[in-house]
């Protein structure tokens, strides 16, 4: 096959998407193969600019990358980082780069994006003035912020508000200056802008609308100090971020005589081709055939797909795109879709506003009742349903006002969506395509549908809607949506718990042979293991139980990314002696482990290999430490604040209670992990209200809170009972825990469990405090049995050579450490080596512990 050369200028979001789309084109039927060279101005491969702001909250540049590892090599792409194109010679069909290279092309694709517009006000180039587009920009802002106290963002659009959020998060007093009379002038109307403004001001950001920037004055070091606004305001600022819009980077095209739009943008036709048949332009640098320059990533992706298909000879068109947006700005949901500003002739508006709750919603409807567009501020739940209706200009499924009031939420299911509605806009997948995947191609689950349609694999915002479309279609086809644990059991976890308890089953084989089918899987085996353990069936590594445990439980440690393990000894209540700290330190030093204080008030030792675990634990156990069950679905930690003993506000001994609770419930296996905390007074330094069960001291006794959660879906715990004395408190927690263990689903924390418990908190209170179900005696007995039979899993493991035998690297070479587990040094510690790095294997312990076995021949 003939090879032709393709040069891509710009390795940004759209450029990368183009490379992927090109590689996905079927090889068969293509007129020729493309040898691809990519010229990139930035020092790193394409990254996710849309989520750039998350860099401030700790997402690393590596995590933002859009270029899958090995992608460039696998497709034989010549990627030249930091070497931008400087000129195009259309007659000779060559591109020149900054380093002086000259590349011939048969096809040239320009994906140069845009640059931030900086208004030419005096002082705009003072030190402390920044733009917001690249990782280097953010690095510069962070460096500058170290010496700054007040920041101003010029521009109150989408990006400006993101930048303001970032400055706020860095602790700067923050101003936003917007020329238009409202924030996000492009996306929302005056009413929406007002609600947005109030919400953003509530977050402590000062908003100046209808004001331009006049001048920035610098001090004698050339650093920005004050900013004068057109409304006469003077602001003392020492950091300025310009976010006043972007301009297409079309200079290369201008210089070689390609037509550009009046306000910039490389003019292209419906195939994204310039008038030169060898040159295409895609993404933010292009002026599309509908006369618009799109500043969003989805239209850019559509253009990239178009050109990739063109080049593969399959033909495609791009004639325009939807500019709907939904974002969370400083924690406020904002969405705008379709004709949001009601510019269509004869358009009518339907409004719902609740300024106390900070909600503003507007639908734009045509005279004949079709949905054209809308704006949602403060509550954008219905965006996923409404946007496709507006894009399809569909007839409203009911009265418009009903779609806006929260009570009508239940009616907005996906059934009201017409078939042609686009559910996933990243990959342009319609509802019909999803339905067909289920009904015609036999897909039965969301992951299957994702794999075969690509829906939901972009930004992910459509996954919820995707799930309901799939579920509806399955139901419509009479296919039962399985309620059971997995393909091997039609029972829920709670039902299996009852079966195991009532029939006295002690092993997995009997359970699956009598009540399930097949051989089990990674879902049902650990779930059954947890049920067996919760009902007191001995050591988790004994007999058949050993084969059920997830890998963490199997090695009583936490698997890390390179196959090594972490070790977390229990530190009840977070109280630890100097001697204990020294012991942990010595062990970590001797084994060369990485140490870190966890979010749970204890110490994690990382980087142990399987064969090192028994040696490490022997020393820990000898020093009086126990398993911390960081690996198990079991009690993790009971955090404490220092309490009355030391703190001048404390009213009870919170540390003593936390230790007591942690020792009482340690080792208790549950449907999911359990966390707790005890605070010594209402100031709540232990954050008890974010725990599965939390206790806060009162002058009368203890308040018990249940069903709290941090993590992905935080929930404040509910007050179950107030001013309890010590014994009642313990009894109530005993029952609460055992009731949860008995009735919750697999991997269901107490928060969602409580959320779906019929009768809610009142029912729970009746069960555990008034014994309304008459099961309290049983629950008490189960807990008493747990407390009596508890033994430290690690001590018990070490005491039995049969159990220790599994902790070897290789069955036929037990002394050989796994050579693929390698580390590198970082910040005075170690971390797993990345695939491209050479690392060293962990050295065996320098000093053998006193109890280490010595083998004699």
Ligand X SMILES: Cc1cc2nc3c(=O)[nH]c(=O)nc-3n(C[C@H](O)[C@H](O)[C@H](O)COP(=O)(O)OP(=O)(O)OC[C@H]3O[C@@H](n4cnc5c(N)ncnc54)[C@H](O)[C@@H]3O)c2cc1C
Which residue among 309, 749, 765, 822 contacts ligand SRM (CB under 6 A)?
A: 749
| Residue 518 interacting with other proteins (CB under 8 A) | yes
DSSP state of 281: E
- Residue 427 binding partner per list ligand SRM, ligand X, ligand SF4, none, with a CB distance cut-off of 5 to 8 Å that depends on partner kind: none
Q: Which residue has the tokens 């409404």?
A: 386
Contact between 803 and other proteins per CB under 8 A: no
Please choose, out of 218-226, 647-655, 711-719, 792-800, the segment that lies near ligand SRM by the rule CB under 6 A. Answer: 711-719
The stretch near ligand SRM (CB under 6 A) out of 253-261, 277-285, 705-713, 790-798 is: 705-713
Query: Closest Cα partner for 632 from 708, 539, 564, 701?
Result: 539
The option from ligand FES, ligand SF4, other proteins, none interacting with 548 (CB < 5 to 8 A, set by class) reads other proteins
| Tokens representing residue 59 in the block | 């997402």
Size of site (CB under 6 A) for ligand SF4: 13
- CA distance readout (Å), 516 to 488, 529, 537, 544: 5, 15, 20, 17
Residue 380 vs 534, nearer CB to ligand FES = 380
Signed CA dihedral, 417, 419, 420, 423: sign only: positive
Total site size for ligand FES, rule CB under 6 A: 11
Residue closer to ligand X by CB (options 205, 533) is: 205
- What are residue 704's phi and psi, to 5 degrees? -110, 125
Contact pattern from residue 628 through residue 657 relative to ligand SF4, giving x for each residue in contact according to CB under 6 A and a dash for the rest: -------------xxx---x-xx---x---
Using rule CB under 8 A, residue 811 touches other proteins: yes
Residues 649-678 that bind ligand SRM (CB under 6 A): 675
Tell me the per-residue interface mask from 45 to 74 with other proteins, x by CB under 8 A, - otherwise: -----------------------xxxx--x
Q: For residues 136 and 154, what is the distance between their CA atoms, to the nearest angstrom?
A: 19
Could you tell me which residues are beta bridge partners of residue 679? 696
* Contact residues for 332 (Cβ-Cβ < 8 A; gap 6+): 196, 199, 200, 358, 377, 378
Q: Which is closer to other proteins, CB of 70 or CB of 82?
A: 70
Coil/strand/helix, residue 596: strand
Minimum gap (Å) between residue 187 Cβ and other proteins: 35
Please choose which of other proteins, ligand SF4, ligand FES, none residue 760 contacts, taking the beta carbon within 5 to 8 angstroms, the exact cut-off set by kind.
Answer: none
* 251 vs 366 by CB, closer to ligand X: 251
* Residue 553: Cβ-neighbour burial (10 angstroms; 0-12, 13-18, 19+): buried
Among 459, 642, 719, 845, binds ligand FES (CB under 6 A): 459
Residue labelled with tokens 């001590």: 795
| Interatomic CA distance for residues 224 and 149, integer angstroms | 12
Q: Residue 30, SS3? A: coil
Q: Which is nearer to ligand FES, 302 or 462 (CB)?
A: 462
Position among 551, 595, 598, 698 found at the interface with other proteins (CB under 8 A): 551
CA 760 to CA 302: how far, in whole Å?
A: 47
Closer residue to ligand SRM, CB minimum distance, 37 or 562: 562
By CB under 6 A, tell whether 414 contacts ligand FES. Answer: no
CB 12 within 8 A of CB 113: yes
Helix (H, G, I), strand (E, B) or coil at 158: helix
- Give 848's contacts (C-beta < 8 A, 6+ positions apart): 854
For the segment 606-635, give every residue that binds ligand SRM (CB under 6 A). 630
Query: Cβ–Cβ contacts within 10 Å for residue 163, how many?
Result: 29
Angle value at C-alpha 194, between 193 and 196, nearest 5 degrees: 65
Nearer CB in complex with ligand SF4: 647/795:
647
Regarding 291 and contact with ligand SRM (CB under 6 A), the answer is: no
Is the Cβ of residue 648 or residue 827 nearer to ligand SF4 in the bound state? Answer: 648
Residue of minimal Cβ distance to ligand SF4: 680
The β-bridge relationship of strands 114-116 and 246-248 is antiparallel
Q: What is the DSSP letter of 840?
A: B
520 binds, among ligand SRM, other proteins, ligand FES, none (CB under 5 to 8 A by kind): other proteins
From the list ligand SF4, ligand FES, ligand SRM, none, partner contacted by residue 650 (C-beta under 5 to 8 A by kind): ligand SF4
What is the distance between the alpha carbons of residues 629 and 569, in angstroms, rounded to a whole number?
8
The tokens of 260 are what?
A: 């550009």
Q: Count of CB atoms within 10 A of residue 406's CB?
A: 13
Nearer to ligand SF4, 425 or 679 (CB): 679
Question: What is the smallest separation between the CB atom of 635 and ligand FES, expressed in angstroms?
Answer: 38
Contacts with 180 (C-beta within 8 Å, 6 or more apart), sequence order: 156, 209, 210
Binding status of residue 547 toward other proteins by CB under 8 A? yes
- CB neighbour burial string for 173-203, b if at least 16 within 10 angstroms, e if fewer: bbbbbbbeebbbbebbbebbbbbbbbbbeee
The window from 249-257, 422-430, 436-444, 767-775 that contacts ligand FES (CB under 6 A) reads: 422-430
Residue 556 Cβ vs ligand SRM, minimum distance, rounded to whole Å = 12
- Cα gap 206→355, rounded to integer Å: 19
Query: Of 684, 780, 792, 818, which one interacts with ligand SF4 (CB under 6 A)?
Result: 684
Q: Could you list the residues that contact ligand X (CB under 6 A)?
A: 9-15, 39-42, 49-50, 52-53, 84-85, 111-113, 132-133, 159, 162, 249, 252, 283-284, 295-298, 300, 327
Who's near 560: CB < 8 A, 6+ residues apart?
Answer: 566, 606, 607, 832
- Strands 33-39, 78-80: pairing kind: parallel
Is residue 709 a contact residue for ligand SRM (CB under 6 A)? yes
DSSP 209-226: ES--EEEEEE-TTSBEEE
Query: Which positions ≥6 away from 74 have C-beta within 8 Å?
Result: none
C-alpha span between 77 and 98 (Å, rounded):
19
CB proximity list for 335: less than 8 A, separation 6 or greater: 324, 325, 326, 327, 374, 375, 376, 377, 380, 383, 387
Of the two residues 655 and 706, which places its CB atom closer to ligand SF4 in the complex?
655
Q: Does 462 bind ligand FES (CB under 6 A)?
A: yes
Ranges of beta strands (E only) in 592-700 are 594-597, 603-608, 635-640, 674-679, 693-697
Q: For ligand FES, which stretch binds (CB under 6 A), given 169-177, 193-201, 420-428, 570-578? A: 420-428
Q: Of 548, 556, 557, 568, which lies in the binding site for other proteins, with binding defined by CB under 8 A?
A: 548
Cα separation of 452 and 438, whole Å?
10
Least distance to ligand SF4 from the beta carbon of 682, Å? 7
Minimum CB separation from other proteins for residue 691, in Å? 28
The binding track of 554-583 with respect to ligand SRM, each residue x by CB under 6 A or -, is ----x-x-----x-x---------------
CA dist 732 and 583 (Å) reads 37
Binding of residue 602 to ligand SRM (CB under 6 A): yes
Minimum distance, C-beta of residue 284 to ligand FES, in the bound complex (Å) = 18
Q: Which is nearer to ligand X, 284 or 734 (CB)?
A: 284
Looking at the Cβ atoms of 57 and 856, the one nearer to other proteins is 856
Per partner kind, with CB cut-offs from 5 to 8 A, the member of ligand X, ligand FES, ligand SRM, none near residue 712 is: ligand SRM
Instruction: Give the contacts of 791 (CB within 8 A, at least 6 positions apart).
Output: 539, 667
Pick the binder of ligand FES from 157, 160, 300, 458 (CB under 6 A): 458
**For residues 563 and 809, what is the distance between their CA atoms, to the nearest angstrom?**
11
Q: Which is nearer to ligand SF4, 25 or 698 (CB)?
A: 698
- Give the residues lining the site for ligand SRM (CB under 6 A): 558, 560, 566, 568, 596, 598-600, 602, 604, 630, 636-637, 675, 709-713, 749
- Give the residues lining the site for ligand SF4 (CB under 6 A): 641-643, 647, 649-650, 654, 679-681, 683-685
- Give the residues lining the site for ligand FES (CB under 6 A): 424-426, 455-462
């Amino acid at each position: 096959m003939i090879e032709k050369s393709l040069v891509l200028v710009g390795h940004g979001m759209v450029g990368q998407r183009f490379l992927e789309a090109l590689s996905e084109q079927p090889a068969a039927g293509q007129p020729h193969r493309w040898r691809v060279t990519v010229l990139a101005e930035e020092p790193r491969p394409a990254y996710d600019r849309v989520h750039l702001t998350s860099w401030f909250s700790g997402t690393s540049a590596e995590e933002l990358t859009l270029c899958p590892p090995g992608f460039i090599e696998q497709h034989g792409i010549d990627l030249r980082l930091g070497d931008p194109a400087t000129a195009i010679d259309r007659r000779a069909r060559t591109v020149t780069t900054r380093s002086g290279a000259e590349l011939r092309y048969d096809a040239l694709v320009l994906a140069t994006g845009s640059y931030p517009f900086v208004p030419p006000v005096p002082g705009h180039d003072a030190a402390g003035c920044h733009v917001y587009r690249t990782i280097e920009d953010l690095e510069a802002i962070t460096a500058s912020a170290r010496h700054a106290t007040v920041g101003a963002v010029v521009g109150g659009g989408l990006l400006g508000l993101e930048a303001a959020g970032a400055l706020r998060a860095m602790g700067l007093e923050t101003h936003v200056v917007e020329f238009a009379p409202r924030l996000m002038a492009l996306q929302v109307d005056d009413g929406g802008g007002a609600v947005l403004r109030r919400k953003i001001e509530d977050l402590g950001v000062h908003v100046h609308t209808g004001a331009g920037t006049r001048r920035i004055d610098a001090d004698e070091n050339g650093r920005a100090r004050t900013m004068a606004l057109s409304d006469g305001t003077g602001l003392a600022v020492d950091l300025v971020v310009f976010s006043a819009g972007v301009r297409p980077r079309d200079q290369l095209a201008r210089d070689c005589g390609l037509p550009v739009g009046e306000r910039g943008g490389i003019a292209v036709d419906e195939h994204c081709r310039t008038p030169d048949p060898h040159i295409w332009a895609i993404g933010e640098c292009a002026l599309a055939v509908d006369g618009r320059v799109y500043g969003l990533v989805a239209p850019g992706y559509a253009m990239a797909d178009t050109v990739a298909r063109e080049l593969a000879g399959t033909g495609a068109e791009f004639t325009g795109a939807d500019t709907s947006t939904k974002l969370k700005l400083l924690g406020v949901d904002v969405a705008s879709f379709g004709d949001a500003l009601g510019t269509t002739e004869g358009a009518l508006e339907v409004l719902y506003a609740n300024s106390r709750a900070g909600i503003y919603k507007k639908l734009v409807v045509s005279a004949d009742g079709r949905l054209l567009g809308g704006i949602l501020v403060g509550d954008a739940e219905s965006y996923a349903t409404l946007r496709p209706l507006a894009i399809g200009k569909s007839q409203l499924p009911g009265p418009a006002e009903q779609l806006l009031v929260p009570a009508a939420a239940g009616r907005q299911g996906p059934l009201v969506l017409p078939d042609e509605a686009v559910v996933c806009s990243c990959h342009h997948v319609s509802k019909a395509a999803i339905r067909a995947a289920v009904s015609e191609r036999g897909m039965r689950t969301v992951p299957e549908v994702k794999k075969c349609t690509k829906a939901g694999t972009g930004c992910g915002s459509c996954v919820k809607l995707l799930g309901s479309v799939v579920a509806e279609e399955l139901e419509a086809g009479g296919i039962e949506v399985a309620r059971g644990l997995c393909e091997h059991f039609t029972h829920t976890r709670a039902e299996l718990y009852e079966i195991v308890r009532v029939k006295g089953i002690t092993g997995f084989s009997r359970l699956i042979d009598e009540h399930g089918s097949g051989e089990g899987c990674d879902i049902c085996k650990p779930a059954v293991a947890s049920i067996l353990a919760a009902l007191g069936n001995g050591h988790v590594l004994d007999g058949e139980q050993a084969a059920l445990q997830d890998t963490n439980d199997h090695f009583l440690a936490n698997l890390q990314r390179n196959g090594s393990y972490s070790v977390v000894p229990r530190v009840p209540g977070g109280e630890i002696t100097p001697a204990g700290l020294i012991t942990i330190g010595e062990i970590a030093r001797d084994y060369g482990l990485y140490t870190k204080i966890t979010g749970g008030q204890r110490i994690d030792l990382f980087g142990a290999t399987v064969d090192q675990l028994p040696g490490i634990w022997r020393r820990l156990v000898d020093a009086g430490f126990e398993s911390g069950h960081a690996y198990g679905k079991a009690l993790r930690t009971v955090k404490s604040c220092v309490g009355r003993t030391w703190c001048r506000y404390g009213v009870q001994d919170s540390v003593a209670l936390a230790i007591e609770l942690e020792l009482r419930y340690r080792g208790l296996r549950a449907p999911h992990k359990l966390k707790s905390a005890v605070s010594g007074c209402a100031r709540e330094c232990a954050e008890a209200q974010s725990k599965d069960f939390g206790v806060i001291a009162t002058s009368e006794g203890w308040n018990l809170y249940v069903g709290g959660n941090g993590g992905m879906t935080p929930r404040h715990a509910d007050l179950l009972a107030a001013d309890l004395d010590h014994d009642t408190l313990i009894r109530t927690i005993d029952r609460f825990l055992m009731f949860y263990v008995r009735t919750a689903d697999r991997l269901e924390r107490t928060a969602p469990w409580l959320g779906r418990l019929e009768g809610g908190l009142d029912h729970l209170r009746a069960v555990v405090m008034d014994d309304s179900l008459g099961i309290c005696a049983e629950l008490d007995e189960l807990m008493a049995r747990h407390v009596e039979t508890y033994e430290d899993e690690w001590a018990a493991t070490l005491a039995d050579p049969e159990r220790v035998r599994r902790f070897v690297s290789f069955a036929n070479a037990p002394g050989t450490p796994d050579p693929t587990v390698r580390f590198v040094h970082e910040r005075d510690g170690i971390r797993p080596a990345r695939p491209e790095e050479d690392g060293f294997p962990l050295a065996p312990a320098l000093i053998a512990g006193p109890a280490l076995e010595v083998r004699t021949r």
